[in-house]
């Protein structure tokens, strides 16, 4: 029997892929984001998938090696590196192995190394930064258990989305509700951007009409007597 949590459906992954981290966080009441220091190693990287979790001893990557070989397509490896900042948890070799295994990407609360190779690769890695020191390989650690990563709980099987703004986690029992809300927000934002652009065009052409204040602004400002 697989140790891995069931993969999320292709439909869920496709829907999440057509959204982004900000819409998904909005749909969770502006929550769900990991520590802002966890960012893609190169701008433009995006990852969406089912969480595969590992907890590491600070500065030690033994269990991260095992997690890579437990992984396969559809999974995003999420590693609680406890925010350790003296040793890197992975470099180009492990990143290459994870990509070869079919893993969608790696999120780590800690540092990595081999910046040049990692940032030129198409393989998405999200970390807090870079340091030349390598890790120990002695353990202990924990695989496929609930963890905390970047201040957010991650349970194996949760939905993970990472992009240039950071990483957001959607608990598996909330996915349907969150995706439908985020899709509605996307529609709202598209319409809003269109009206902002139309207003700017009209204004610069000397024929402004109406206003582009969001519908809720007036009501909210009443509390301030304005």
Which spans of this chain sit near ligand OAA (rule: CB under 6 A)?
61, 90-94, 114, 134-135
Can you list the pairs that 168-171 forms with residues at least 24 positions away whose Cβ atoms lie under 8 Å? 168/21, 168/24, 168/25, 168/28, 168/32, 168/33, 168/34, 169/32, 169/34, 169/51, 169/78, 170/16, 170/24, 170/28, 170/32
By beta-carbon proximity to ligand OAA, the closer residue of 91 and 110 is: 91
Please say which residue, 26 or 114, places its beta carbon nearer to ligand OAA. Answer: 114
Least spacing, CB of residue 88 vs Mg ion, in Å: 8
Terminal-residue alpha carbon distance, the chain: 63
Residue 90 interaction partner, one of ligand OAA, Mg ion, none, beta carbon < 5-8 Å per kind: ligand OAA
Residues 69-98 that bind Mg ion (CB under 5 A): 91, 93
What is the three-class DSSP state of 47?
A: strand
Chain centroid, CA 209 distance in Å: 40
Cβ of residue 146: shortest distance to ligand OAA, in angstroms? 25
Distance CA 203, CA 53 (A): 52
**What is the closest distance, in whole angstroms, from the C-beta atom of residue 61 to ligand OAA in the complex?**
5
**By Cβ distance, which residue is nearest to ligand OAA?**
91
- According to CB under 5 A, which residues from 123 to 142 bind Mg ion? none
Nearer to ligand OAA, 93 or 202 (CB): 93
Cβ 114 to Mg ion shortest distance, Å: 6
Shortest approach of ligand OAA to residue 19 CB, angstroms?
31
Residue 129's region, left for phi above 0, alpha for psi from -120 to 50, else beta, is: left
Does 40 participate in binding Mg ion (rule CB under 5 A)? Answer: no
Question: Which among Mg ion, ligand OAA, none contacts residue 94 (Cβ within 5 to 8 A by kind)?
Answer: ligand OAA
Q: What is the C-alpha to C-alpha distance for residues 208 and 152, in angstroms, rounded to an integer?
A: 46
Q: Specify the residue, 22 or 119, whose C-beta has the smaller distance to ligand OAA.
A: 119
Say if residues 184 and 41 touch (Cβ distance below 8 Å): no
Which residues share a beta bridge with 23? none
């Amino acid at each position: 029997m697989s140790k891995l949590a069931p993969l999320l459906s292709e439909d869920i992954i496709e829907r999440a892929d057509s959204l982004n981290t900000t819409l998904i966080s909005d749909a969770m009441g502006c929550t769900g984001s990991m520590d802002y220091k966890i960012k893609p190693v190169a701008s433009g990287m995006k990852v969406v998938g089912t969480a595969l979790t590992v907890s590491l001893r600070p500065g030690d990557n033994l269990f991260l090696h095992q997690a890579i070989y437990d992984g396969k397509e559809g999974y995003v490896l999420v590693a609680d590196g406890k925010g350790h900042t003296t040793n890197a948890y992975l470099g180009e070799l492990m990143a290459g192995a994870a990509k070869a295994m079919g893993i969608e990407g790696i999120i780590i609360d800690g540092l990595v190394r081999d910046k040049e190779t990692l940032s030129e690769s198409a393989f998405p890695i999200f970390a807090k930064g870079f340091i030349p020191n390598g890790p120990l390989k002695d353990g202990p650690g924990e695989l496929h258990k609930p963890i905390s990563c970047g201040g957010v709980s991650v349970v194996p099987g949760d939905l993970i989305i990472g992009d240039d703004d950071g990483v957001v986690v959607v608990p598996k029992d909330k996915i349907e509700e969150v995706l439908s809300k985020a899709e509605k927000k996307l529609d709202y934002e598209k319409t809003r951007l269109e009206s902002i652009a139309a207003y700017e065009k009209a204004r610069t052409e000397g024929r402004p009409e109406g206003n582009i204040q969001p519908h809720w602004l007036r009501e909210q400002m009443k509390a301030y007597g304005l």
